[in-house]
């Protein structure tokens, strides 16, 4: 099944911010910990927060009910009296998760009310955001949900009209038209959030280009329902579901292509599960050949065979960059070691994987025995191959394997853990990304240097930095997509430490710096001219950064396979360069 994922699907900025605050609080804030009302309209997220000990407060508790603890105000915001009530209830911390864009609407309403003007809010009267907005109007606000209701409004002095941030654009325009006719001095503030505009515009376009649209989100989520309405109005066959279990597979298999979008409160892992289910459906319109090509590619990427072949490519390139002979045992050892490392690490990272990559988590549980068995056999194969190259290479790979095992073992003394919260090497912020890059650099650069060397130190240094940075960029690129899941399990990756934007900027600088280094090193004769050609994989990785930042590619098997193709490319470029040389 051909699936097109909407670029705007999933958490909007406000919901993501509230969710990040809640997850941060789940790991760091004082207990008891509550959200005031459901944090977002999504049952899976609410269940997850309950698992983490974040309870829900339905109403403001009487003053002095608590002597500590924390409460989180959700993205919708609250009326001022509720905020005061929460403070009086005795919580040590009232964590404000109100979306900055909702805060702006509240400010418009307060200003109008202070000037004695009437306020019309276009939205659903019982929606928490609208209840919060109304609370800022000092009793001068009225809620209108349909154009016909304008006639029922009382007389107002120079009224101001605002919209619930997730309001349907057409409904708002129709209400404003009627209001203008009744109140010529009307002041209009189109406060429909840009994220809502973009989401609705995109689903309208998407509906015209595919045969059906799947909208995923909580049933209580107004903006999810509106997306379904917009898609239906644009003529698409719409499937509104809360999870993949509700998909009508028989009906979907009769379609050639579907679009997938999600409400602002739908987490990434729910979208990815839907993506996995939809792509696995065999459309009656898809050729058998295409279907099987997709299946084989998927298997290679999810089983880690694809990235391990990339390691073989990188080992080839490194040997040539350092002026060493190309030995089949070394290339094979790199393949087996990296395969074993990636396969076995997935099992250590299982919890985060369920959220970050449900497709892979499903694959892991389905092929558990095959993957563990092949991982262990590959480790042994790497050790045997290194033994054939000498004791030193064998010792190096053995030490690397031990380090890999110690990575998840609690090693720090208690006093250090108490002070820093760090118990294992994997608890060090950003360690996962960095350790993977270091392991690659040792496997494809240090191992050949030890086995066949010594190479010229400058060439070895350049090859080491080249591998380290290229792998670091690749791993951090995917960490950016995994922030939601990593936050849930409390993992401190580079994007969590630096934030998404700063991480992306850092990756750009690293890529540019790496290309510069290769030019300089080749120009100064420190490495052969191959160094220049190895800028191609760097450019390929930069291209991946570019398309990923613009959401031109759907996260998943295809994007991962394309990123890892750059490692293949390094090997290919090296072989072509040698054939020409």
Q: Name the residues that contact ligand SF4, by CB under 6 A.
A: 12-15, 75, 99, 101-102, 165-166, 193, 195-196, 264
Q: Which is nearer to ligand SF4, 14 or 375 (CB)?
A: 14
Q: Which is nearer to ligand SF4, 102 or 400 (CB)?
A: 102
Q: Least distance from C-beta 86 to ligand SF4, angstroms?
A: 20
Dihedral angle sign, alpha carbons of residues 273, 274, 275, 279: positive
How buried is 409 (Cβ within 10 angstroms: 0-12 exposed, 13-18 middle, 19+ buried)?
Answer: exposed
Q: Which is nearer to ligand SF4, 13 or 326 (CB)?
A: 13
Q: Least distance from C-beta 105 to ligand SF4, angstroms?
A: 8
- Helices 358-366, 328-348: axis angle to 10 degrees equals 100
Catalytic residue among 81, 129, 329, 501: 129
Scan for tokens 């919060």, then name that residue.
Answer: 132
Dihedral angle sign, alpha carbons of residues 131, 137, 141, 144: negative
Could you tell me which residues come within 8 angstroms of residue 48 by beta carbon, excluding any fewer than 6 positions away?
A: 488
Report whether 90 contacts 80 (CB < 8 A).
Answer: no
Q: Which is nearer to ligand SF4, 101 or 117 (CB)?
A: 101
Q: Which is nearer to ligand SF4, 41 or 117 (CB)?
A: 41
Question: CA-based Rg of the chain, rounded to a whole angstrom?
Answer: 28
Asked about 246 being catalytic, the answer comes back as no
Report whether 230 contacts 204 (CB < 8 A).
Answer: yes
Q: Least distance from C-beta 13 to ligand SF4, angstroms?
A: 4
Q: Which is nearer to ligand SF4, 162 or 179 (CB)?
A: 162
CA-closest candidate to residue 332, choices 399, 389, 401: 389
Q: Least distance from C-beta 165 to ligand SF4, angstroms?
A: 4
Q: Least distance from C-beta 83 to ligand SF4, angstroms?
A: 17
Q: Which two tokens stand for residue 423?
A: 């118990």
DSSP per-residue letters across 382-425: HHHHHHHH-HHHHHHHHHHHHHHHHTTS--S-HHHHHHH---SG
Q: Least distance from C-beta 172 to ligand SF4, angstroms?
A: 14
Helix ranges, 442-581 (H): 447-452, 457-481, 483-489, 494-498, 500-523, 530-533, 535-549, 557-580
Pairing state between β 237-241 and 2-5: unpaired
Q: How far is 161 from 526, CA to CA, in rounded Å?
A: 68
CA atoms within 13 A on the CB side of 73: 26
> Among all residues, which ones are annotated catalytic?
129
């Amino acid at each position: 099944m051909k699936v097109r994922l909407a670029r705007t699907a999933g958490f909007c900025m406000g919901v993501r911010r509230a969710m990040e605050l809640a997850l941060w609080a789940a790991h760091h804030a004082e207990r008891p910990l509550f959200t005031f009302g459901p944090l977002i309209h999504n049952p899976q997220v609410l269940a997850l927060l309950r698992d983490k000990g974040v309870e829900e407060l339905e109403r403001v508790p009487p003053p002095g009910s608590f002597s500590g603890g924390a409460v989180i105000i959700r993205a919708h915001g609250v009326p001022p009296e509720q905020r005061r009530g929460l403070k009086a209830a005795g919580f040590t911390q009232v964590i404000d998760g109100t979306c900055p864009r909702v805060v702006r609407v509240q400010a418009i309403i307060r200003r109008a009310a202070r000037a004695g003007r009437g306020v019309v809010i276009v939205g659903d009267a019982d929606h928490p955001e609208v209840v919060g907005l109304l609370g800022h109007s000092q009793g001068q606000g009225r809620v209108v949900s349909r154009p016909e209701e304008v006639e029922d409004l009382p007389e107002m002095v120079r009224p101001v009209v605002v919209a619930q941030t997730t309001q349907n654009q057409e409904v708002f325009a129709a209400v404003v038209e009627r209001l203008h006719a009744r109140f010529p001095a009307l002041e209009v503030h189109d406060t429909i959030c840009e994220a809502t505009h973009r989401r609705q515009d995109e689903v309208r376009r998407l509906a015209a280009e595919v045969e059906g649209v799947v909208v995923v989100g909580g049933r209580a989520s107004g903006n999810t329902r509106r997306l379904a309405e917009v898609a239906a109005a644009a003529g698409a066959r719409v499937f509104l579901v809360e999870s993949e279990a509700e998909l009508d597979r028989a009906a979907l298999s009769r379609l050639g292509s579907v679009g997938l979008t999600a409400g602002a409160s739908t987490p990434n892992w729910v979208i990815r599960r839907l993506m996995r289910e939809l792509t696995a459906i065999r459309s009656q319109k898809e050729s058998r050949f295409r279907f099987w090509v997709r299946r084989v590619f998927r298997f290679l990427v999810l089983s880690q065979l694809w990235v391990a072949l990339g390691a073989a490519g990188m080992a080839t390139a490194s040997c040539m960059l350092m002026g060493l002979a190309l030995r089949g045992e070394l290339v094979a050892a790199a393949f087996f070691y990296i395969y074993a490392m990636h396969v076995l690490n997935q099992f250590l990272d299982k919890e985060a994987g369920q959220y970050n990559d449900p497709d892979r988590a499903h694959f892991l549980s389905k092929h558990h025995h095959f993957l563990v068995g092949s991982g262990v056999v590959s480790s042994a194969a790497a050790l045997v191959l290194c033994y054939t190259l000498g004791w030193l290479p064998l010792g190096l790979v053995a030490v690397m394997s031990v380090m890999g095992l110690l990575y998840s073992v609690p090693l720090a003394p208690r006093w250090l853990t108490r002070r820093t919260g760090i118990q294992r090497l994997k608890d060090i912020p950003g360690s996962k990304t960095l350790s993977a890059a270091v392991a690659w650099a040792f496997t494809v650069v240090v191992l050949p240097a030890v086995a066949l060397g010594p190479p010229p130190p400058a060439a070895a240094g350049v090859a080491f930095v080249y591998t380290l940075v290229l792998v670091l960029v690749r791993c951090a690129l995917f960490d950016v997509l995994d922030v939601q899941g990593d936050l849930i399990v409390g993992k401190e990756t580079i994007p969590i430490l630096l934030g998404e934007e700063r991480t992306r900027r850092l990756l750009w600088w690293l890529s540019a710096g790496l290309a510069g280094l290769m030019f300089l090193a080749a120009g100064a004769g420190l490495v052969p001219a191959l160094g220049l050609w190895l800028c191609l994989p760097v450019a390929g990785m930069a291209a991946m950064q570019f398309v990923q930042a613009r959401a031109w590619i759907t996260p998943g098997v295809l994007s991962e396979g394309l990123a890892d193709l750059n490692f293949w490319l390094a090997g290919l470029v090296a072989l072509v360069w040698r054939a020409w040389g």
